[in-house]
Structure 1
């Protein structure tokens, strides 16, 4: 990610965060009258962060050389950033102040070790797959292939979940909370773009999605960030019907940039019988390497 682009991302991120806060939400007196800006003024953010207006203005323009962690923490508190947004701001500042080094995180990694595939295959009661930070699906177990059969049904290799969400009309039926998964997908890519400056493959993916999907472009411009960690996802599977599954995203420490995503369900959960039917819908075991792992 070129330095000018990082600075522009810092500017847009900070301005979008202060635009969403009102003086009342920030604990400042609101004397009424017409305000010329949406949300907080720069002077109000500076006041809350205990820095000068001139210094905050410099930071908002992306000139973050030499900024201390203490200042960033004060700024994050002033703007009411959550943990994910704080991490994103820190990543943007690091990207603005450093060049990419050998050994940095590779968000577009495509190799899945045999032992990781063995872990997936051993999860017979869970749907599980490995994805990279570009949301490419690199390896699956049988139950995940059954659950995600439409998302994996693509001419592109490897299948990409962001492309499925925004470019495949079947995604609106498959994800019963399509708005939620769309928000998470864009937020994950936005966070990864800050963590891996210079990742041209990711930049190409973002450009493709923005050019082909107005929905993606609008959400990208909002500068929201998310980590897909744990929660409940609501599906509508074309063969078995509705499924509400618990998900967990487990990063693989030995393979930075790769994450195992699992979907499970308690035996007493309302959709447990449907989940059992999904087991009967599983494809036959592959005789060769998993196509998604290529």
Structure 2
């Protein structure tokens, strides 16, 4: 990724989203655009307009944390956006690789036996491991069953959530709120691009999706980022129907850059019953697969 272009487009897009009313500024006079002017951001941040204009042109190298904090406050950045701004600054300094531990690159990552044992020990809900590119790297039995359509759809190895969301029409069935799922996927990829701007796999994925999907291109150009830690997601499984699942996502200390997500249903809910049915279906699938192999 071109760091200066990323910085410029991110800051311009955040400035355009913030209105004078939101910033507590007077609104008298005509405006060509609804967002703040550069001079208004500079004044709110306590820096000169010349200095802020230099930053907005992409020159973040060497900028202090104090100035970055001031810019973040002026633009009313949320936690994810503020973290992204600091990631872009570290990339401009060339220090991002030092700040964020990187996994050793291998031709094909596979989970350690102990990790797979831990995943398989989670029997009441789906559990998955993904990276920042949204590759689906490891699952427990329920995770595999819930994402069976993704495994069937994506011939690449490992399958990829973003590729499925934007290049397979079946994703609109699997994600009842497809727009939210699509927004989230792009925000995760954009966040990862700020953390690791030299990830060739991510470059290739973004290039592929930008070429093949107008919906992806439009969302990518918005420069939205997101912290994806906990919440509720809705799915429609082709066998067991609708699922409303709470999720918790955890960064894996032993595998920097990977995220473990565990899904759970509210006890006694329709989704809990559907998960029990999914577990039964998954067990049948495994027995059929074993019988075919033997």
Q: TM-score, normalised on structure 1?
A: 0.92
1:130/1:258 contact within 8 Å kept: yes
Whether 1:128 and 2:132 are equivalent positions in the alignment is: no
Displacement after TM superposition at 1:247 (Å)? 1.0
Q: Match for residue 236 of structure 2? A: 236
Moved over 3 A (4+): 99-104, 106-109
1:246/1:265 contact within 8 Å kept: yes
Q: Match for residue 3 of structure 2? A: 6
Deviations 1:215-247 (A, max 9, x none): 001000000001221110111111111110011
| CA separation of 1:101 and 1:69: change in aligned 2, threshold 3 A | closer
For the residues of structure 2 that align with 1:161 and 1:20, how far apart are their CA atoms? 28
Q: Match for residue 290 of structure 1? A: none
For the residues of structure 1 that align with 2:239 and 2:125, how far apart are their CA atoms? 18
Gaps of 5+ in 1: 288-294
Q: Which has the higher contact order (CA 8 A, sep 6+)?
A: 1
Displacement after TM superposition at 1:274 (Å)? 1.6
1:64 equivalent among 56, 60, 65: 60
Greater mean deviation of Cα atoms: 184-193 or 97-106: 97-106
Alignment of 1:45-124 (within 5 A): 45-98=41-94, 101=97, 104-106=101-103, 110-124=109-123
For the residues of structure 2 that align with 1:275 and 1:224, how far apart are their CA atoms? 33
For the residues of structure 2 that align with 1:116 and 1:78, how far apart are their CA atoms? 43
1:18/1:41 contact within 8 Å kept: yes
2:61/2:90 contact within 8 Å kept: no
Displacement after TM superposition at 1:45 (Å)? 0.3
Displacement after TM superposition at 1:101 (Å)? 4.6
Q: TM-score, normalised on structure 2?
A: 0.92
Q: Match for residue 30 of structure 1? A: 27
For the residues of structure 1 that align with 2:20 and 2:105, how far apart are their CA atoms? 41
2:230/2:247 contact within 8 Å kept: yes
SS of the equivalent of 1:57 reads: helix
SS of the equivalent of 2:286 reads: coil
Displacement after TM superposition at 1:275 (Å)? 1.9
Displacement after TM superposition at 1:65 (Å)? 2.4
For the residues of structure 2 that align with 1:132 and 1:17, how far apart are their CA atoms? 26
Q: How many residues align?
A: 283
1:95/1:194 contact within 8 Å kept: yes
Q: Which one has a larger percent helix, Structure 1 or Structure 2?
A: 2
SS of the equivalent of 1:54 reads: helix
1:107/1:132 contact within 8 Å kept: no
Displacement after TM superposition at 1:259 (Å)? 1.2
Deviations 1:65-106 (A, max 9, x none): 221101100110110100000000000011011166578424
| CA separation of 1:15 and 1:106: change in aligned 2, threshold 3 A | farther
Kindly report the root-mean-square deviation, in angstroms, between the aligned alpha carbons of the 2 structures.
Answer: 1.8
For the residues of structure 2 that align with 1:165 and 1:108, how far apart are their CA atoms? 26
2:103/2:257 contact within 8 Å kept: yes
Alignment of 1:161-240 (within 5 A): 161-240=161-240
| CA separation of 1:238 and 1:207: change in aligned 2, threshold 3 A | same
Deviations 1:7-65 (A, max 9, x none): 1110000000010111111011111x321233000000001101110010000001122
Gaps of 5+ in 2: none
